[in-house]
Structure 1
Amino acid sequence: MHIAYLTPEYPHEKTGHSGGMGTSIKNLVSRLVVKGHQITIVVYGQKTQEKFDENGIHFHLIKQKKYKIGGFYFYRKNIENYINKHLKNVDLLEAPDWTGITAFMKLKMPLIIRFHGSDTYFCHVENRPQKKKNKYFESNAVSKAQAYIAPTQFAGSTSMRLFNLPMDLLKVIPYGLDLSQFINEDISNYNPFTILNVGTLIRKKGVFQLVQVFEKVLEKYPQSQLTFIGGDSNDVQTGAHSTWELIQNITPPLVLENINYLGKVPYSQVQEHIRKAHVCVYPSLAETLGMVTIESMAMGKAVVNTNIGWAQDLIEDRVDGYMHHPDDIDNYVTSINKLFSDEKEVNRIGQNAINSVASKFDINHLVEENVKFYQYVLGL
């Protein structure tokens, strides 16, 4: 098959920073190429208009355009015209739900929407109001698809319900990992009393709850260190332009002395930070899956994770990780303190995490699930 992916991000030096969406696409298409499928990646919102081939993948970068009025409509039509003109031999196009990028488009090939996390979904999960135009764009976009894929049952069923779509068009296929890229030869070798959180520094990731947790952990383990890795962001609740500055302003100085914020870090270095962490903690309030959770588990880390919806597909509590609601500060503290004091438990959870990820998130197995679903949609 010739499969195309429309995306606002992809891990490549020419396309800028990429998050979990871009990483999950790269993991998938890398294996599809190995399986002999033809792949085209269309990255919109770029600084330049460019085409190039690399590692068996055809790349199309679509430059961001500005319009005096109606940019939300005319830029989408610009992307539509580009796809219909330059991707004539494509069998299938996959696009994200986020921002409703395929709204108003009339595409000449079948469309699958993958639920990476729409504004509609996140507003619902976070229980915050949504702008009507965002809901309209995303509803218009998803209504044009022939089928839908979600990384977890929770994300999929919630999204289908919010957009009033028939459940029989949904397929749940987790994001996959190339496990050969997540090797930790000695899971017992880590920096003691270190806590790591990887992801955008934003309220919905539970970063404020984590700071509260850390303050209590310090009472028993004053030598503890908390490290944040990820881009800064504004804060929707307070209007602050920097979440990191907000954390600094509201955190006691003695606690702040033991918190390190590294900002954005090259991916290879992120892996090394994960490898050296004693515990990885992800008290997120809103995800569709949470790539860093399974990446940390793949490297044999003891993870203390959120327990909301999507997380039920990732972790079995106290078997291959720990799970608590982000607002359950005391139980987070209890779990972290237990892991800090019990080396055998750290190794047990870490080894079970490796085994669990290998059984559920190996891209070599999941690529076949994607192919079969693509073929089903195409009637092959």
Structure 2
Amino acid sequence: MKIAFVTPEYPHQNFGKSGGVGTSIYGLTKALKELGHTVSVLVYGQKKDAYFEEQGIHFYTIKNIKLKGLSLILTQKKVERLINALYDQGRLELVEAPDWTGFTAFVKPKCPVVIRENGSDTYFCHLEQRPVKFKNKFLERRALKRADGIISVSRFTGELTNKVLGLKRPFEVIPNSVNINEFNPNHSDKQPLTILYFGTLIRKKGLFELVEIFNRVHEKNKEVKLVLVGHDSGDIKTGKTSTWSLMQPVFTASAIKQVQYLGGVNHQMIQEVINAATVCVFPSFAEAFPLSWLEAMAMEKPIVASNIGWAKEMINDDKEGFLVHPKAHDNYAHRILELLNNQQKREDFGKAARKRVIKDFSHMEIAGKSVEFYKPFIK
């Protein structure tokens, strides 16, 4: 099978900064290649047009066409022409694209188009209770309406996307995945008690709630450290350019002395950081099926996470982790302290979490399910 991914991001030095969508595509492309399929990645929004091949995967960098008022449609048509050229040359049979901002709304290729719902702008705006841009909602709705097939990374995401966009499109639930060989537990010597958050520093991921939660944990345990890993971002609510700068004054004077912010780290380093953690925390308000959670689970780390929607499809409360609403600061802190004080509980949660990942969320398992979904669309 010959599959191409159209995306604005991909975690490679040639493409700049990448988020969760790019990382999920990265894992899927690697697994599909291992299964013997031909994989191409078309990354738009780049500085130049180029082609290169690496580890058997074909990469096409696409420079956006800039013309006031027409840039988007002209770039979409440029991508359409590339897809059709590759199709005519027998280099691809199907294209997959993310739902974010509906890039394929006006792309009409000769081959089938599958959209994978990792959370559209409309979806996230709804979860964050803020207005969505009309253009984004229009494009996302049109792209999903015209897609040949739809995959959603969680049932919650698929159902809510249909609701907020006024659609009744059927979808297949195929979760995000993690490479269980890369994210493999490596239990080292006794480490200091550490709470780890890794991901973008942004309001929707509950970073301001985490400050309040850690203040409460610190009241009970002055030795535990909080480590934050991830790129800083602007704050939509206040208009400030740094979420980290907004967080710092909210910590108590004593608690902030136990906080370490490492910024963004590379793929190899994140595994070392996770391995050194005692407990991982994810008090998010808006996700679809977060890779960071899967990575922590694969490395047998006990988790205290949000209990909203998608979370219950990933973690069974009090089995593979604790699920608590981010605004329940006292209860959230209590669960963290419970794990910090109970090594056996941490070990039980960690082992159960990795077992769940191996069974349901390994990258080869998910790649295989994706291929089965693609098959009916390829004649």
Post-superposition Cα deviations, 1:206-244, rounded to whole Å, max 9, x if no partner, equal 000001000000001111211111111111111111101
Corresponding residue for residue 178 of structure 1:
179
Q: Following the alignment from structure 1 to structure 2, what is the Cα–Cα distance between the partners of residues 182 and 34?
A: 17
Is the contact between residue 192 and residue 340 of structure 1 (CA under 8 Å) also seen in structure 2?
Answer: no
Post-superposition Cα deviations, 1:330-371, rounded to whole Å, max 9, x if no partner, equal 111111111111111111111111111111111222222111
Corresponding residue for residue 263 of structure 1:
263
Q: Following the alignment from structure 2 to structure 1, what is the Cα–Cα distance between the partners of residues 333 and 69?
A: 51
Instruction: After TM superposition, give the deviation of residue 165 of structure 1 in Å.
Output: 3.1
Corresponding residue for residue 359 of structure 1:
359
Q: Following the alignment from structure 1 to structure 2, what is the Cα–Cα distance between the partners of residues 377 and 307?
A: 36
Q: Following the alignment from structure 1 to structure 2, what is the Cα–Cα distance between the partners of residues 250 and 301?
A: 27
Corresponding residue for residue 145 of structure 2:
143
Q: Following the alignment from structure 2 to structure 1, what is the Cα–Cα distance between the partners of residues 326 and 278?
A: 20
Two-structure CA RMSD over aligned residues (Å): 1.5
| Mapping of residues 325-336 of structure 1, within 5 Å | 325-336=325-336
Is the contact between residue 210 and residue 283 of structure 1 (CA under 8 Å) also seen in structure 2?
Answer: yes
Q: Following the alignment from structure 1 to structure 2, what is the Cα–Cα distance between the partners of residues 334 and 119?
A: 33
Instruction: After TM superposition, give the deviation of residue 87 of structure 1 in Å.
Output: 4.1
Q: The residue matched to 2:181 in structure 1 has which SS?
A: helix
Corresponding residue for residue 250 of structure 2:
250
| Mapping of residues 1-380 of structure 1, within 5 Å | 1-88=1-88, 89=90, 90-167=92-169, 169-186=170-187, 189=189, 191-378=191-378
TM-score by length of 1: 0.95
Instruction: After TM superposition, give the deviation of residue 66 of structure 1 in Å.
Output: 2.4
Q: 1:87 to 1:43 in 2, by over 3 A?
A: farther
Name the stretch that deviates more: 295-304 or 88-97.
88-97
Post-superposition Cα deviations, 1:166-203, rounded to whole Å, max 9, x if no partner, equal 34x310001122211111132x7453321111111000
Name the stretch that deviates more: 158-167 or 255-264.
158-167
Is the contact between residue 228 and residue 261 of structure 2 (CA under 8 Å) also seen in structure 1?
Answer: yes
Is the contact between residue 189 and residue 276 of structure 1 (CA under 8 Å) also seen in structure 2?
Answer: no
Q: The residue matched to 1:59 in structure 2 has which SS?
A: strand
Q: The residue matched to 2:177 in structure 1 has which SS?
A: coil
Is the contact between residue 180 and residue 358 of structure 2 (CA under 8 Å) also seen in structure 1?
Answer: yes
Q: Following the alignment from structure 1 to structure 2, what is the Cα–Cα distance between the partners of residues 48 and 308?
A: 41
Q: The residue matched to 2:58 in structure 1 has which SS?
A: strand
Post-superposition Cα deviations, 1:88-120, rounded to whole Å, max 9, x if no partner, equal 322110001101111222211110110011101
Aligned residue type for 2:173 = V
Instruction: After TM superposition, give the deviation of residue 260 of structure 1 in Å.
Output: 1.4
Aligned residue type for 1:7 = T
Is the contact between residue 10 and residue 23 of structure 1 (CA under 8 Å) also seen in structure 2?
Answer: yes
Is the contact between residue 212 and residue 250 of structure 2 (CA under 8 Å) also seen in structure 1?
Answer: no
Is the contact between residue 176 and residue 290 of structure 2 (CA under 8 Å) also seen in structure 1?
Answer: no
Is the contact between residue 190 and residue 276 of structure 1 (CA under 8 Å) also seen in structure 2?
Answer: no
Structure 1: gaps (5+ residues): none
Instruction: After TM superposition, give the deviation of residue 309 of structure 1 in Å.
Output: 0.4
Q: Following the alignment from structure 2 to structure 1, what is the Cα–Cα distance between the partners of residues 363 and 86?
A: 29
Q: 1:190 to 1:121 in 2, by over 3 A?
A: farther
Q: Following the alignment from structure 1 to structure 2, what is the Cα–Cα distance between the partners of residues 86 and 111?
A: 14
Name the stretch that deviates more: 330-339 or 69-78.
69-78
Q: 1:228 to 1:87 in 2, by over 3 A?
A: farther
Aligned residue type for 2:226 = L
Aligned residue type for 2:308 = I
Aligned residue type for 1:128 = R
Is the contact between residue 115 and residue 147 of structure 2 (CA under 8 Å) also seen in structure 1?
Answer: yes
Q: Following the alignment from structure 1 to structure 2, what is the Cα–Cα distance between the partners of residues 62 and 225?
A: 43
Q: Following the alignment from structure 2 to structure 1, what is the Cα–Cα distance between the partners of residues 125 and 148?
A: 25
Instruction: After TM superposition, give the deviation of residue 11 of structure 1 in Å.
Output: 1.7
Name the stretch that deviates more: 68-77 or 90-99.
68-77
Q: Following the alignment from structure 1 to structure 2, what is the Cα–Cα distance between the partners of residues 103 and 127?
A: 25
Is the contact between residue 77 and residue 105 of structure 1 (CA under 8 Å) also seen in structure 2?
Answer: yes
Aligned residue type for 1:198 = F
Q: Following the alignment from structure 1 to structure 2, what is the Cα–Cα distance between the partners of residues 27 and 133?
A: 30
Q: The residue matched to 2:106 in structure 1 has which SS?
A: coil
Q: The residue matched to 2:370 in structure 1 has which SS?
A: helix
Q: The residue matched to 2:105 in structure 1 has which SS?
A: coil
Q: Following the alignment from structure 2 to structure 1, what is the Cα–Cα distance between the partners of residues 349 and 46?
A: 42
Q: Following the alignment from structure 1 to structure 2, what is the Cα–Cα distance between the partners of residues 23 and 274?
A: 17
Is the contact between residue 41 and residue 58 of structure 1 (CA under 8 Å) also seen in structure 2?
Answer: yes
Is the contact between residue 177 and residue 294 of structure 2 (CA under 8 Å) also seen in structure 1?
Answer: no
Aligned residue type for 2:185 = N
Aligned residue type for 1:245 = S
Structure 2: gaps (5+ residues): none
Is the contact between residue 48 and residue 63 of structure 1 (CA under 8 Å) also seen in structure 2?
Answer: yes
Q: The residue matched to 1:102 in structure 2 has which SS?
A: helix
Instruction: After TM superposition, give the deviation of residue 77 of structure 1 in Å.
Output: 2.2
